[in-house]
Amino acid sequence: MIAIILAAGQGKRMKSDLPKVLHKVCGKPILNYIIDACKNAGIEKIIVVVGHKADVIKENISGVEFIVQNEQLGTGHAVMCAKDFIDDENVLILNGDIPLITSDTLKKLSHMHKQNSVTLVSTVVENPSGYGRIVRRDEKFLRIVEDKDADKNELLINEINTGVYLFNPKMLKTALQLLSNNNVQNEYYLTDTIEIIKSMDDNAGIFCADNYHEFLGVNDRVQLAQVSSLMQKRINEKHMRNGVTIINPKSVYIDDSVEIGQDTIIYPNVFLESNTKIGRRCIIGAGSNIVSSEIFDEVNVQSSVILNSIVKSKTKIGPFAYIRPNCIIDENVKVGDFVEVKNSNIGSGTKISHLTYVGDSDVGQNINFGCGTVTVNYDGNKKFRTKIDDNSFIGCNTNLIAPVSVGKNSYIAAGSTITEDVPEKSLAIARQRQINKLDWKKKN
């Protein structure tokens, strides 16, 4: 079986510079969902018909073959453009704008098809407007009538064409040659091939699918939001079935690509995005946003943002911490409230409890940062690194003017501005001595 996905249309109603099929649903382009459903149904050869902004689509999608339909003369014409790919394998055809389609449904369709010349997937919906209607006489399929071509009675039919079909290759080729564009839109409708095939050998089957959600098309941004929320529900339910607690699933956004370990608890208003991996028994507290990051087991994140970083086991982040790209935070670390860490390595057991900026730094193990420490990494022109060795104690309100290093087991007195390297086991005090002016008040 081969698959032809129709994606040449402009998607006018999206009102977008981005081609419709590249708009994302739960972090993944619409077209990729359809491609993945085909692949998971065991289809290896997938042809995508592109036209409007073909180059942008080609740049963003891989693992398929493309054919260009230069002028969009209808869904039938789109398939004609791909006719050189049609030989002796059955041909699955799908619209490129139905991301909720599942591989299970495609497998069922293939099972139903058997020796049919064509099997079309229909479904029953409450509001059929916009869709092609399935016209039957005495229960038997007669034809598909497009919304724009339908008469008053036909408009009432709520069994619709989903835009998913499986064809015998020979019959498809023959029927395509017989298509005309004699209709309201002057388009070559793929849907007319079903009636043509039926008139030739009466061997057209219908598979009426019971879950119409799978066939909801994305034509505008309202439908994009509707489909996204159904996809989100599907993704969240998958994780819950795998042993993840999600306290209020409606408020939690998890990209399709995210992995989460068993017994992790996700609080409300959490966003987990692009290839993030969360370990087992973690707590991801309310309002956290984790992007492209790997979180190991038993990590506790509270109301924090983590971007492009790695956080190892049993570490606590937040509340209100900001972990910017390129950090590796080791086990049993504490990164507390209003702490920002960027492009830094933090060793195990280290505590950065409050109001601190650690940027471009290599921080060892078991270091204590006092409140209000700043690594001064930028001179207005270049960035420099700070290195702090194991077991050191950085007093409150310290400035570390990089490049600078602090040796093992050292102490820095509170309020110091450190401009020179601190040798191991020493105490650095870099502040003016206090002067007390006695009876100063009286004199003034």
Catalytic residues: 354
**Cβ nearer to Ca ion, comparing 216 with 278:** 216
Enumerate residues 6+ apart whose C-beta is below 8 A from 361: 344, 345, 375, 377, 385, 386, 387, 388, 402
**Cβ nearer to ligand UD1, comparing 48 with 346:** 48
Beta strand 351-359 with 328-329: parallel, antiparallel or unpaired? Answer: unpaired
**Cβ nearer to Ca ion, comparing 217 with 318:** 217
Instruction: Let me know how many helices (H) and strands (E) the chain has, helices first.
Output: 9, 39
Q: Which region among 189-197, 297-305, 326-334, 375-383 touches ligand UD1 (by CB under 6 A)? A: 189-197
CB of 170 to ligand UD1, least distance (A): 21
For 276-344, give the DSSP string: -EE-TT-EE-TT-EEES-EE-TT-EE-S-EEES-EE-TT-EE-SS-EE-SS-EE-TT-EEEEEEEEES-
Number of residues that bind ligand UD1 (CB under 6 A): 27
32 binds ligand UD1 (CB under 6 A): no
19 binds ligand UD1 (CB under 6 A): no
Nearest alpha carbon to residue 351 among 392, 409, 404:
392
CB of 134 to Ca ion, least distance (A): 16
Interface with ligand UD1 (CB under 6 A), residue from 2, 54, 69, 355:
69
395 binds ligand UD1 (CB under 6 A): no
224 binds ligand UD1 (CB under 6 A): no
Interface with ligand UD1 (CB under 6 A), residue from 25, 35, 43, 49:
49
195 binds ligand UD1 (CB under 6 A): no
CB of 218 to Ca ion, least distance (A): 8
Please, are residues 5 and 48 in contact by the beta-carbon 8 Å criterion? Answer: yes
Whether the CA torsion 305, 275, 282, 361 is positive or negative: it is negative
294 binds ligand UD1 (CB under 6 A): no
Interface with ligand UD1 (CB under 6 A), residue from 32, 116, 119, 191:
191
Instruction: Select from ligand UD1, Ca ion, none the partner in contact with residue 189, using the beta carbon and a kind-dependent cut-off of 5 to 8 Å.
Output: ligand UD1
CB of 227 to Ca ion, least distance (A): 12
Please report where in the chains the tokens 């041909």 appear, as a residue: 91
φ, ψ for residue 417, nearest 5 deg? -110, 105
Enumerate residues 6+ apart whose C-beta is below 8 A from 42: 1, 107
Which pair of tokens denotes residue 198? 């039926």
Interface with ligand UD1 (CB under 6 A), residue from 4, 190, 194, 284:
190
**Cβ nearer to Ca ion, comparing 217 with 336:** 217
Q: Which region among 67-75, 111-119, 357-365, 427-435 touches ligand UD1 (by CB under 6 A)? A: 67-75
Q: Which region among 33-41, 184-192, 309-317, 420-428 touches ligand UD1 (by CB under 6 A)? A: 184-192
Query: Long-range contacts of range 32-35, CB-CB < 8 Å, 24 or more positions apart?
Result: 32/61, 33/99, 33/100, 33/101, 33/256, 34/5, 34/94, 34/96, 34/98, 34/99, 34/101, 35/5, 35/61, 35/63, 35/64
Rg (CA), the chain: 31
Residue 419 per-residue DSSP state:
-
Instruction: Select from ligand UD1, Ca ion, none the partner in contact with residue 266, using the beta carbon and a kind-dependent cut-off of 5 to 8 Å.
Output: none
Q: State the residues that interact with Ca ion by CB under 5 A.
A: 217
| Helix, coil or strand: residue 7 | strand
CB atoms under 10 Å from CB of 297, counted, come to 17
**Cβ nearer to Ca ion, comparing 29 with 217:** 217
Which pair of tokens denotes residue 218? 């994305």
CB of 344 to ligand UD1, least distance (A): 46
**Cβ nearer to Ca ion, comparing 190 with 329:** 190
Interface with ligand UD1 (CB under 6 A), residue from 3, 144, 371, 388:
144
Residue nearest to ligand UD1 (CB): 132
CB of 142 to ligand UD1, least distance (A): 14
Instruction: Select from ligand UD1, Ca ion, none the partner in contact with residue 78, using the beta carbon and a kind-dependent cut-off of 5 to 8 Å.
Output: ligand UD1
Question: Which of the residues 76 through 135 are near ligand UD1 (CB under 6 A)?
Answer: 77-78, 95-97, 131-132
8 binds ligand UD1 (CB under 6 A): yes
Instruction: Select from ligand UD1, Ca ion, none the partner in contact with residue 75, using the beta carbon and a kind-dependent cut-off of 5 to 8 Å.
Output: ligand UD1
CA distance 102 to 141: 25
Q: Which residues pair with 143 in a beta bridge?
A: 135
CB atoms under 10 Å from CB of 322, counted, come to 18
Q: Please give the residue ranges that form the binding site for ligand UD1 (CB under 6 A).
A: 6-9, 49, 69, 72-75, 77-78, 95-97, 131-132, 144, 146, 160-163, 189-191, 217
